A and B are shown apart, each in its own frame.
Chain A
Amino acid sequence: MTGTTERTPAAAPILELIGVSKQFSGIMAIHDVNLTVYPSEVTCLLGDNGAGKSTLIKIMSGVHQPSAGQIRIDGRRTVLSSPRVAQGFGIGTVHQDDGNLPLMSVARNFFLGREPVKGWGPVRRIDKRTATEVTMREIAALGITRVTDPNQPVGALSGGERQALAISRALYFGARLLILDEPTSALGVREAGVVLRLIRQAKSRGVAIVFITHNAHHAMSVGDRFTVLIQGEVAEQFRRGERIKEELLNLMAGGRELESMQAALEEMHEEASPTQVAGAASTTIGES
């Protein structure tokens, strides 16, 4: 975190990656990555396809172990040997496919694998009343009001609502650090807006968020810290307001200021900005 540490954050970091590298059969997927994640902040992880974002989140969520470097949680060196261990530390991951089963009901999805039960022996059964009450309460708390029937199949929900369900589930089961893998990439403009709003809400609850995206607009509208990965290495790390959008886009495109690419991107912003990120699009990165 060079150049940013002097701005003392309000709280101690939840998670620190120090010099983390990962090799897969000789190929370096990520190299010497330092990343610090604070509570009540949105840490954006940006980069093009193949930049190493997925590897990095798999390390943070316990799927992979780093080949070198260390992970610290609450300041203590920790080994995240499995996703379950990571969950035990309060690290909740919402994958891009949102993990919901479309033909199962909202409440059943919410509690899948962690069903509340009552009774004992052969009459041990799912406590459906608790399941539906908690599900509806948690969803409503995130402002998702269209989902009013806990018995509705998840397949009838929109992509944004499904992401919201997954996020509220992770938060309910104790996530202090929420890793969101491309939660907005498959969504339309309005739906992405809903998910971005949820990210802000989770942040206001004191949750640390790692937000993976390759959409610079989405990153800028919610991000507090930004880490740009290029070919497995940290290309740049900065805080909100320290870069303008064009710089970010250039970084994400590989740092090369190709004139033609620039022009093409400009065109895209012109089209996207009126509907999507009206404020943040033109000037600095959303210094609000």
Chain B
Amino acid sequence: MNPKSTARPADQPTVPSAQADIPLRDTQHPPARQPGKAVTVRPGQDPPGARLLKEAPVLLQRLMRAPELGVAVAAIVIFVFFAIVGGSKGFLSLTATASWLNTAAQLGIIAIPLGLLMISGSFDLSIGSMVGAGSVTVGIVTGYEHQSLWLALVIAAGIAVLVGLGNGLLVTRTALPSFIVSLGANLIVAGLGLTVALQMTGTTAIPVTASGFAADLFDSKWHQLSVSTFWWLGIAVAAAWVLAHTRFGNWITATGGDPEKARRAGVLTGRVTITLFIFTALSSAFVGVLQAVQYTSGDPTTGQNYVFQAAIVVVIGGVLISGGYGTILGVVLGTLVYGIVNGGLFYTGWNTNYTEVLIGLLMIVAVLTNSFLRRLALSATKKGVTR
């Protein structure tokens, strides 16, 4: 999913043209300049880590371009660990796998658009209450008003577009931090959802009645695997393609890298931000609908856990917290890590409260590793030239 690695085959034909300039090298640059090599750190003045880089520049450059490699290793190690410790108690059973995959999928459906938004340099805390809004909409429309699930979908999508648009416009027009804007939105939407639910139905657990094809879209199974998992997969493939291969994807990364420079280059940064806020709201409402139909209950208070969980898996997945860098594959792997830890601990027989401890540690390690690799790969190569 990494833009660079998938682009490789197509890039091959450019190599001859790049080589065509080799004869120039000797004429253009006096011997004092060391051409061709990316790394020429002056001996005796190696900054910490530079020696490592000198020895393995290619590997490090690749690592820097593929931060999902680190989280991929983490995902495998953690899976193997729980397979050994919890395998005999059922962690590897189809039921258990389908269960933690469903948990991961619901989180992942939110984390993917949030990942794109964070790559573009913004943050959305209103996802929590948007899950509740989606859920309560299904409850009221189907269970209370006895209308079709399709109508609930349209209304939930409408609310999501409205909230996303509001967030996006406020962030782009006022230059307020998206953290603050979406935190406010989270409270407003949560409060309104609760009020509407209680005033109309008098309860926060509204029974859902949905059946037929519409219900199957959100609650059906294929060999025990929930339909959520397939939604997650589909959204991940689409988002990865957009980020790596389309103009809009290029603009997402550029907007997060430096909005001012991106604007000067002709990128419509405002449009990028607003679009992505709409998608985070839509995906959260979508998960709200999924949960309402699967658990046959519409609940305006559900979903607040996602506010932090989604951001955590995005960061574990290697997305730069300040924006400008990240991949969808990384976010998906980060979500898998969360799902495995969350589901796996139950089968070890240990206290499941350790989930939070483990996830917290993983996130810190992930951020440290990524920032270290990035700094190394960017700084040491530069030194080689200016010296």
- A residues with a Cβ closer than 8 A to B are 83-84, 95, 97, 99-105, 108, 112-115, 117, 124-126, 128-129, 132-133, 136-137, 140, 143, 145-146, 148-153, 155-161, 187-188, 190-191
**B36 CB → nearest A CB, Å:** 7
Q: Does B89 have its Cβ within 8 Å of any Cβ on chain A? A: no
Query: Contact string, B18-50, partner A, CB cutoff 8 A, digits 1/0?
Result: 111110110011001101101000000000000
**A93 CB → nearest B CB, Å:** 9
Partner among B11, B14, B241, B378 whose Cβ is within 8 Å of the Cβ of A155: B378
* 24 chain-A/chain-B pairs, Cβ below 8 angstroms: A99-B264, A101-B253, A101-B258, A103-B374, A104-B254, A108-B254, A113-B266, A117-B247, A126-B245, A128-B11, A129-B11, A129-B13, A132-B7, A140-B20, A143-B21, A143-B24, A145-B24, A145-B35, A145-B36, A150-B11, A150-B18, A152-B61, A153-B65, A157-B385
Partner among A101, A136, A158 whose Cβ is within 8 Å of the Cβ of B261: A101
A156 to B386, alpha carbons, bound, how many Å?
11
Given known A-B contacts A99-B265, A112-B254, A126-B250, A132 and B11 have beta carbons under 8 A apart: yes
- Contact A146–B262 (Cβ < 8 Å): no
Most interface-central of A84, A101, A155, A161 (chain B CB within 10 A): A101
- Contact B24–A133 (Cβ < 8 Å): no
A132 to B7, alpha carbons, bound, how many Å?
10
Given known A-B contacts A140-B24, A143-B24, A151-B65, A101 and B262 have beta carbons under 8 A apart: yes
Partner among B14, B257, B261, B378 whose Cβ is within 8 Å of the Cβ of A132: B14
- Contact B386–A158 (Cβ < 8 Å): yes
Given known A-B contacts A128-B10, A136-B17, A150-B11, A103 and B320 have beta carbons under 8 A apart: yes
**B276 CB → nearest A CB, Å:** 18
A143: chain B residues at CB < 8 Å are 21, 24, 28
- Contact A113–B11 (Cβ < 8 Å): no
Partner among A128, A150, A156 whose Cβ is within 8 Å of the Cβ of B377: A156
**B28 CB → nearest A CB, Å:** 5
A95 to B263, alpha carbons, bound, how many Å?
13
Q: Does B382 have its Cβ within 8 Å of any Cβ on chain A? A: yes
Rank and list the top 9 A-B pairs by shortest CB-CB distance, nearest first: A113-B266, A158-B385, A140-B21, A101-B257, A113-B265, A156-B381, A155-B378, A125-B245, A112-B265
A125: chain B residues at CB < 8 Å are 241, 245-247
Q: Does B325 have its Cβ within 8 Å of any Cβ on chain A? A: yes
Instruction: Write the chain A residue with the least CB distance to B7.
Output: A128
**B202-218 at interface with A (beta carbon < 8 Å):** none
- Contact A104–B24 (Cβ < 8 Å): no
**B51-73 at interface with A (beta carbon < 8 Å):** 61, 64-65
- B residues with a Cβ closer than 8 A to A are 3-4, 7, 10-11, 13-14, 17-22, 24-25, 28-29, 32-33, 35-36, 38, 61, 64-65, 241, 245-247, 250-251, 253-254, 257-258, 261-262, 264-267, 320, 324-325, 374, 377-378, 381-382, 385-386
A191 to B385, alpha carbons, bound, how many Å?
8
A132: chain B residues at CB < 8 Å are 7, 11, 14
A113 to B251, alpha carbons, bound, how many Å?
7
B382: chain A residues at CB < 8 Å are 155-158
**A179 CB → nearest B CB, Å:** 13
A151 to B4, alpha carbons, bound, how many Å?
6
- Contact A156–B266 (Cβ < 8 Å): no
Instruction: Write the chain B residue with the least CB distance to A137.
Output: B17
Given A129-B10, A150-B11, A150-B14, 9 more A-B residue pairs with CB atoms under 8 Å apart are: A97-B261, A101-B324, A103-B257, A103-B324, A108-B254, A113-B262, A136-B17, A145-B36, A156-B38
Instruction: Write the chain A residue with the least CB distance to B257.
Output: A101
A156: chain B residues at CB < 8 Å are 38, 61, 377-378, 381-382
A188 to B384, alpha carbons, bound, how many Å?
13
A215 to B67, alpha carbons, bound, how many Å?
41
A129 to B17, alpha carbons, bound, how many Å?
12
B32: chain A residues at CB < 8 Å are 190
**B271 CB → nearest A CB, Å:** 12
- Contact B35–A146 (Cβ < 8 Å): yes
B265: chain A residues at CB < 8 Å are 99, 112-114
Most interface-central of B65, B251, B265 (chain A CB within 10 A): B265
A167 to B63, alpha carbons, bound, how many Å?
30
A140 to B385, alpha carbons, bound, how many Å?
17
Partner among A95, A114, A129, A155 whose Cβ is within 8 Å of the Cβ of B266: A114
- Contact B261–A145 (Cβ < 8 Å): no
B320: chain A residues at CB < 8 Å are 103
A102: chain B residues at CB < 8 Å are 257, 378
- Contact B13–A133 (Cβ < 8 Å): yes
- Contact B17–A133 (Cβ < 8 Å): yes
B257: chain A residues at CB < 8 Å are 101-104
B29: chain A residues at CB < 8 Å are 145
**A115 CB → nearest B CB, Å:** 5
Instruction: Write the chain A residue with the least CB distance to B261.
Output: A99
A154 to B241, alpha carbons, bound, how many Å?
22
**A222 CB → nearest B CB, Å:** 17
- Contact A146–B36 (Cβ < 8 Å): yes
A105: chain B residues at CB < 8 Å are 3-4
B378: chain A residues at CB < 8 Å are 102, 153, 155-156
- Contact A112–B35 (Cβ < 8 Å): no
A140: chain B residues at CB < 8 Å are 17-18, 20-21, 24
A126 to B244, alpha carbons, bound, how many Å?
9
A287 to B144, alpha carbons, bound, how many Å?
89
- Contact A126–B386 (Cβ < 8 Å): no
A161 to B14, alpha carbons, bound, how many Å?
20
Instruction: Write the chain B residue with the least CB distance to A102.
Output: B378
Partner among B65, B246, B381 whose Cβ is within 8 Å of the Cβ of A126: B246
A190 to B12, alpha carbons, bound, how many Å?
32
A188: chain B residues at CB < 8 Å are 386
Given known A-B contacts A97-B261, A160-B385, A115 and B247 have beta carbons under 8 A apart: yes
**B376 CB → nearest A CB, Å:** 11
Instruction: Write the chain A residue with the least CB distance to B10.
Output: A129
Instruction: Write the chain A residue with the least CB distance to B4.
Output: A151
